Amino acid sequence: MRKLKLSIVGYLNALPLSWGFIQNRPEDRFELDFSPPALCADKIAAGSVDIGLIPAIEYQRIPNLRIIPNLSVASKGSVRSVLLVSKVPLSRIRTVALDRSSRTSVALLRIWLRMRYQLDPALYSHEPELASMLRRRDAALLIGDAALTADTAGLFRYDLSEAWLEETGKPFVFAFWACRAESGLQDGSPFEESFRYGLAHLEDIVRQQSRQLRIPTEQIRSYLTRCIDYSLDEENLDGLLHFYRLAREMKLISETRPLQFVR
């Protein structure tokens, strides 16, 4: 029986979900691939991987996917790692440089700007380096580690998860595990086991990432335990479905597929 190919996102916020696969592989059930979120989605769409931690919006764009239940990268408040950073007030934003690794956050940004401010700026893909993004554009969308480590002093800064909560009263789901239906995966327990391993070894993640990102350990710990919610509970599912409805209304996706889970 061939190993399923599993695409893992190396961002800090995804590590608790993946830590068991990365550090503790007693069965070697999966062949691991490491990719940023957008590339992970492209690989699962192309069939070069079987399972991946995909941006939530991509579930509606890639046919025949199944969601691994109970787990996600979500936030029920301020997330700190999905930021719109601007050198001008919101009303004057006409151009936005986008972190090219992002897809769900791009849709979230477009929905929020239209709903709240009736803005539809021109969007440009860019490497996630804030200074160079703002040299050419009015504002920049940063996600993940690039957002956590960016120096935003003296700039307008908007946490998009917090903005979504204020606008809708709902949490936001950024990503979740999904597999191609033809992969044959019928058991999500390895993913829950990997997450439990990650929680049990959270301090290892904190120390490693503090060194790597040059962020104090208490900030890393607070981010992982207070800003990120790893559940896919009813509240998060409600926020996810609301996001999909708005994305469909604003023609960011062509249809709204029902959620189908690995059973």
Q: What is the pTM of this model?
A: 0.96
26 three-class SS: coil
Give the pLDDT confidence score for residue 147 in this predicted structure. 97
**Percent of the chain that is helix, strand, coil (3-state, to 5):** 45, 25, 30
Give the pLDDT confidence score for residue 63 in this predicted structure. 96
Judged against a pLDDT cut of 90, whether residue 123 lies above it is answered with yes
CA 126, CA 95: separation in Å to the nearest integer? 12
Give the pLDDT confidence score for residue 29 in this predicted structure. 79
Interval 171-198 mean pLDDT: 96
Sorting pLDDT into bands at 50, 70 and 90, what band is 26?
low
Q: What is the dihedral of CA 251, 172, 36, 256, to 10 degrees?
A: -30
CB 121 within 8 A of CB 93: yes
Judged against a pLDDT cut of 70, whether residue 263 lies above it is answered with yes
> pLDDT for 79-119, tens place per residue?
999 999 999 999 999 999 999 988 999 999 999 999 999 99
- The residue type found at 118 is Q
DSSP string, 171-187: -EEEEEEEEEGGG----
CA 259, CA 113: separation in Å to the nearest integer? 26
More confident residue, 29 or 206: 206
> Which of the 8 DSSP states describes residue 261?
B
DSSP string, 226-238: II-EEE--HHHHH
Which domains does the chain possess? 4-74+172-249 (3.40.190.10), 82-168 (3.40.190.10)
> pLDDT for 131-170, tens place per residue?
999 999 999 999 999 999 999 999 999 999 999 999 999 9
Beta strands, E only, the chain: 4-8, 30-34, 51-55, 65-67, 71-75, 82-86, 95-99, 122-126, 139-143, 156-159, 172-180, 229-231
